Structure 1
Amino acid sequence: MFGIVMSLSMVVSLIFSLVGVMMSFVSLNLLGVWVGMELSFLSVICFASGSSVEETESMMKYFIIQVIGSCVSGMGFILASNLSEVMACQLFILIGMMVKLGVFPFHFWVAPVVSKLSWAGCASVLLVQKLIPIWVLSNYLILYKDVSRVEFFCCMTSLVGCLGGLSVLNYRVLLGFSSVQNLGPMVLLCCCENFELWVYVVVYFMLTGFAMMGLWQLGIYGFQDLVKETGLKGMDNLWWVSLYFLSSAGLPPFVGCAMKIALLNGCWSKMTFGTGICVLSSCISLMFYLSVVLAVVVYWGKNVFMVSKEKRKEFNYMVNISLLVNLSGGFIAFLWMSL
């Protein structure tokens, strides 16, 4: 009975989180955006808390950080609604959104929070909770005059994300630093072009979401789980899941390369230095993306391409989704971006 109630409450919390996102997107005033953001945030707290002490502790850390960001951004929204203290409200909104996203120098909470969460909790924190702040910044930074400071924060965010992910064995923390590294180009695109921004966001969310889903299905949370994994079927599935990491690194012909194309198209002419730093940081982050693939090669490289003696005829959705998203999606993205 407790399990049924727990699962029902998690489903309701997830629904309310998505309702909060939609409320912020369609709201006609800043206070409505703030209410939708808080509804989504509190729903994610209920959804991702889980049943273990570690998950509850992580969500308490997340709650404290998000409350600080909400208070600061709420003060900025109130000042902006009253059309008073324009410089102060701009500063409050910018700092509040940076805290909620985890942009440098407020990136310190990302790794401790996601390190103990389930994959569903990681997806809600790293993906769902980014939508509203990015939406606010995409409408706010176009009107912001002093974008040179924003460019500096974007460069530092990408550098911190790519350097922090090196030598990380916990894949939830690795994807957390990957999220920080990708925040730099996202916020940079908020200053320039909305179309390229949402191309970047959609591709990033698709790749990270499917990678988390694949690792959740395989029950892998870190490098230690790879050592314990046995069985040809698990090896084969893990190989195809690891393609999402190569795609996130932006290697052609994977669909993740479309993110780098969108960044260059949107920002190169306006913020050349910041764009170059973000692209360079993605090249550095390729090292920790490759660590996942190399782990497969080292432990099971000789067995990944072995043909099983037993002919398996069942539909392997994990392999087919990986091929569809990474390779077929990449080909379609290249054709579309070239038009």
Structure 2
Amino acid sequence: MSFPVSYIIFFFTLILGTIISISSPSLFGAWVGLELNMMSFIPLITIKMNSYYSESALKYFLIQALSSALFISSSLLSFTFLLISFILIFLALLLKLGSAPFHFWFPQVMEGLNWPQVFILSTIQKLAPMILLSYLMINNTLIKITLISSMASALFGALGGLNTMYLRKMIAFSSINHLSWMLIAISLSDIFWMFYFLIYSLILLSITSSLFSMQAFTLSSIAQLGTYSTFNSLLMSSTFLSLGGLPPFTGFIPKWFMIQIMMNMNLFVPLAILILSSLLTLYFYLRVVIMFIILSNPVMNFYLKYDSRSHNYSLPLKMFFNFLGVLLPVYLFLI
């Protein structure tokens, strides 16, 4: 995945905004970092002059501007109404993250992006708001709001992806579902959510980089790419299953940690909702997996035209991380 050289400055200011936001000792400094981060991402969306990119950039700007206005205005209340101020700041950060019940904008923006921007929006753009959320985990009221938002994100993320044929929308609802696990982890400990975030980012990187090289955006576009080797189809299928958290792939390891921790904390109701939602997400991942399995059989493939994009020799290197759970099942020793 690559961008034009002229946009390196926007990558630099994007990372700089995140660093300023998470290292600032004041709410105003955190707001400045978030604004710099937002204004750096918008030019990366509109690299190509396209109506879809422009629409996504406009939607992203309006939502982020609304959440930033709520953030800075709520911080002024901290001098008199500290708890109310923290609650409003918390809601503004949830809006920035695209967490339920403020998730409505996330799939719509994601649908108009290219795969590199999809990865940035799902990972780097969520880093600063989640770290700021972890700073606010000092009150039982905020922890309860976190649990409610995480359960809602799990349900909306699982149900929203059931009826879509667009891969970017599928990844968007998957990101909302994974965000529910990370919100629970934020309320428990910083180490847990950072570990989950790292594993999720690496898995998503392997998926988005592969789909970007294929230029596949829908299930039908996957079918039109040409014949797939059985080995490459197996790799792509295992990666989507790893993203869904199916054992024994790598994506199951952070979920297994969270299951054990939530059971020790007696969070049985949120755990049941998160597990059931993960099963629903596996359903719409299986539709992609079945597509790759069918196309690996030349008899079932109606598009017999050769296409070099379907023979991606860098695919094993990209997908190797997803098999670490198979090769090194360290979670079995934690039972």
Q: Is 1:40 paired with 2:37?
A: yes
Alignment partner, residue 264 of structure 1: 259
Q: Is 1:89 paired with 2:85?
A: yes
In 2: Cα distance, 1:298 partner to 1:142 partner: 51
Unmatched 5+ residue regions in structure 1? 1-5, 305-313
In 2: Cα distance, 1:107 partner to 1:202 partner: 22
How far 1:15 sits from its partner (Å)?
Answer: 1.7
- Aligned-residue identity in percent: 25
Unmatched 5+ residue regions in structure 2? 301-310
In 2: Cα distance, 1:171 partner to 1:66 partner: 24
How far 1:238 sits from its partner (Å)?
Answer: 4.8
TM-score (norm 2): 0.88
TM-score (norm 1): 0.87
Change (3 A) 1:26 1:238: farther
Change (3 A) 1:45 1:199: same
Q: Secondary structure at the match of 1:195?
A: helix
Q: Is 1:104 paired with 2:94?
A: no
Query: How many residues are paired up?
Result: 321
Q: Secondary structure at the match of 2:4?
A: helix
> Given that residues 142 and 190 in structure 1 are in contact (C-alpha distance below 8 angstroms), is that contact kept between their aligned partners in structure 2?
no
Alignment partner, residue 79 of structure 1: 77
* Structure 2 counterpart of 1:250, from 240, 245, 251: 245
> Given that residues 76 and 90 in structure 1 are in contact (C-alpha distance below 8 angstroms), is that contact kept between their aligned partners in structure 2?
yes
Could you report, residue by residue, the CA deviation over 1:13-61 in whole angstroms, capped at 9, with x for unpaired residues? Answer: 1221011112223222222222111111110111112321111111101
Q: Is 1:283 paired with 2:260?
A: no
> Given that residues 247 and 257 in structure 1 are in contact (C-alpha distance below 8 angstroms), is that contact kept between their aligned partners in structure 2?
yes
In 1: Cα distance, 2:182 partner to 2:24 partner: 22
Could you report, residue by residue, the CA deviation over 1:201-225 in whole angstroms, capped at 9, with x for unpaired residues? Answer: 1111111122101110111111121
> Given that residues 7 and 44 in structure 2 are in contact (C-alpha distance below 8 angstroms), is that contact kept between their aligned partners in structure 1?
yes
> Given that residues 158 and 278 in structure 1 are in contact (C-alpha distance below 8 angstroms), is that contact kept between their aligned partners in structure 2?
yes
Alignment partner, residue 211 of structure 1: 207
Moved more, 162-171 or 145-154: 145-154
* Structure 2 counterpart of 1:8, from 5, 18, 25: 5
Could you report, residue by residue, the CA deviation over 1:164-185 in whole angstroms, capped at 9, with x for unpaired residues? Answer: 1013111000000000111111
Moved more, 83-92 or 161-170: 83-92
> Given that residues 106 and 172 in structure 2 are in contact (C-alpha distance below 8 angstroms), is that contact kept between their aligned partners in structure 1?
yes
Alignment partner, residue 297 of structure 1: 293
Cα RMSD, aligned residues only: 2.4
Change (3 A) 1:158 1:226: same
Moved more, 6-15 or 43-52: 6-15
Q: Counterpart of 1:217 in structure 2: which amino acid? A: S
Q: Counterpart of 1:137 in structure 2: which amino acid? A: L
Q: Is 1:57 paired with 2:76?
A: no
